Amino acid sequence: MSHELLSILVLAVVFLIATFLPVHMGALALVATYLVGTQVLGEDVDTILGGFPADLFMILVGVTYLFALATDNGTVDWLVARAVKSVGGRIALIPWVMFFVTAALTAVGAVVPAAVAIIAPIAMGFAKRYDIRPVLMGLMVINGASAGGFSPLSIFGGIVNGVVGRENLPSNPALLFASSAAFNIVLGVIVFVLFGGRQLLGKVDRGDGIIARRADENGGAGGAGVGRSEPHDGVSGPHTSRASTTAVQTTPVAGDTDAGTEVLTRARVLTLVGIAALAIAVLFFNQDVGFTSLLVAVAISLFSPGSNKGAISKIAWPTVLLICGIVTYVALLERIGTIDWLGNGVAGLGAPLLSAILICFIGALVSAFASTTGILGALIPLAVPFLLAGEVGAVGMIIALSISASVVDSSPFSTSGALVVANSPEPQRDKVFRQLIIWGFSMVVLAPIATWAIFVLPGWG
């Protein structure tokens, strides 16, 4: 049996064991990496550890530590209150604000994981305060990042357009950007409908801790009575009968007092300055997200020791182990050459349309575990031979592959998906992880089919 095939079978076994037995998948993946690396490939431990994603480890630890501090001292609640006022208190608009803010960041050049790292923790603050499903907020942030990710100024767009230019293939950067943005906006609408967005319509935060809802959504004003609870919100409290609204007291959260949401204490000012410094350093000076967020967190702890209590324990350590374990094994696959082996096998089939959709599937599957940036740079050259033959439209194929490899960033094994899981409320973290697995791997299957049908079959370019 070839090493490439063996490595794929071992990965499948890791997933099966972790699914049916109470064994942590991350630990299991690290053990599998060690056994395959040392016993099959003859690698030493230093080589195996070279595949450990230290950058991803630092991002997860640094970002979750910083925003644990921001949550404990009420800064996240303060940001939530300010942002809600900016949209007139309309709760249903909040996920879309997160979508377009993240899209704007990536469109002007922010690295996708960096934009998600900055926006996702704030989005989860909204989710907690307004009983919005965390998976809805997380996916809106991730899809927003992908929507802006292929602008000519962005990292993804630069990589794809650069590879296409080097290979002398036809290109259309504006169409690539517009197609990706449109595809992700449609995905955003689907996510909004599937994950509870409709229950947010008509809900308004009046700025005093009360959410007002249209009476006709609750069976009429006459049906509202004292002590009724609203099923969609998951909270209970006194209702006041009115001609047009039914009022519901929201569940109290940390800092849900005047001092918690309105007053800028010293610790909150320090935290806001630190978050702004993180954004500037990462977006404009290309500083490392993980180390910079850790630097800001340590600085806040030094100048405001009272805000540091318990923050370290809130770092999502199980998630860190899970993601880093899987990614370390994927690095082993790359060293073996499994990815190239699959791609070369597909490219040599001799059926251009079939090869096109299979390359999209490979791009989606591998990108769900590994770097989207690396996949885009590796797989487009594999498609060059039959693209140059003219049997498949080059522009359409490049768009299909780019979208297929990027929308799967919602997988919890990618950096963006991992950040969403790590910043989700702890009681819901396992549920969010499962939901992102289902959604992410549905994208692995559906996105290549959809993009192939839309962009490749018509022969774009």
Break the chain into its structural domains and give their ranges: 3-53+318-456, 210-249
Helix (H) or strand (E) holding 211: strand 210-214
Is the confidence at residue 339, as pLDDT, over 90?
Answer: no
Rounded mean pLDDT, 389-405: 87
For residues 341 and 10, give the distance between their C-alpha atoms in angstroms, rounded to a whole number.
Answer: 16
For residues 223 and 341, give the distance between their C-alpha atoms in angstroms, rounded to a whole number.
Answer: 65
Which pLDDT does position 89 carry in this prediction?
Answer: 78
- Identify the band that residue 439 occupies on the pLDDT scale cut at 50, 70 and 90: very high
Which pLDDT does position 337 carry in this prediction?
Answer: 82
Which pLDDT does position 133 carry in this prediction?
Answer: 94
The mean-pLDDT minimum among 17-31, 92-106, 188-202, 372-386 falls in: 372-386
Quick count: other Cβ atoms within 10 Å of Cβ 92? 18
Mean pLDDT of the chain: 80
Number of H helices and E strands in the chain, helices first, is 21, 5
- Name the more confident of 332 and 252: 332
Dihedral of CA 69/71/74/78: which sign? positive
- Identify the band that residue 407 occupies on the pLDDT scale cut at 50, 70 and 90: very high
DSSP 167: T
- Identify the band that residue 350 occupies on the pLDDT scale cut at 50, 70 and 90: low
Is the confidence at residue 210, as pLDDT, over 90?
Answer: no
Is the confidence at residue 257, as pLDDT, over 70?
Answer: no
Is the confidence at residue 132, as pLDDT, over 60?
Answer: yes
- Name the more confident of 88 and 29: 29
For residues 32 and 396, give the distance between their C-alpha atoms in angstroms, rounded to a whole number.
Answer: 39
For the chain, give the percent of residues with pLDDT over 90: 27
pTM of the predicted structure, to 2 decimals? 0.70
According to DSSP, the β-strands at 229-230 and 204-205 are unpaired
Q: What share of the chain is helix, strand, coil (3-state, %, to 5)?
A: 70, 5, 25
Which pLDDT does position 453 carry in this prediction?
Answer: 94
| Chain CA centroid to CA 409, Å | 6
For residues 339 and 349, give the distance between their C-alpha atoms in angstroms, rounded to a whole number.
Answer: 16
Is the confidence at residue 88, as pLDDT, over 60?
Answer: yes
- Identify the band that residue 178 occupies on the pLDDT scale cut at 50, 70 and 90: very high
- Identify the band that residue 336 occupies on the pLDDT scale cut at 50, 70 and 90: confident
Which pLDDT does position 399 carry in this prediction?
Answer: 94
Cα torsion 118, 123, 124, 128 to 10°: value is 150
Q: Are 177 and 139 in contact (CB under 8 A)?
A: no
| Chain CA centroid to CA 80, Å | 20
For residues 375 and 363, give the distance between their C-alpha atoms in angstroms, rounded to a whole number.
Answer: 6
For the chain, give the percent of residues with pLDDT over 70: 81
Is the confidence at residue 217, as pLDDT, over 60?
Answer: no
Q: How far is CA 103 from CA 184, 185, 448, in A?
A: 10, 10, 22
Rounded mean pLDDT, 225-253: 37
Which pLDDT does position 450 carry in this prediction?
Answer: 96
For residues 168 and 172, give the distance between their C-alpha atoms in angstroms, rounded to a whole number.
Answer: 12
The SS3 assignment for 402 reads: helix
For residues 93 and 125, give the distance between their C-alpha atoms in angstroms, rounded to a whole number.
Answer: 15
The pair of structure tokens assigned to 404 is: 């297929």
Region class of 209: left (phi > 0), else alpha (psi between -120 and 50), else beta: left
DSSP 36: I
The mean-pLDDT minimum among 274-278, 285-289, 388-392 falls in: 388-392
- Identify the band that residue 366 occupies on the pLDDT scale cut at 50, 70 and 90: confident
Is the confidence at residue 155, as pLDDT, over 50?
Answer: yes
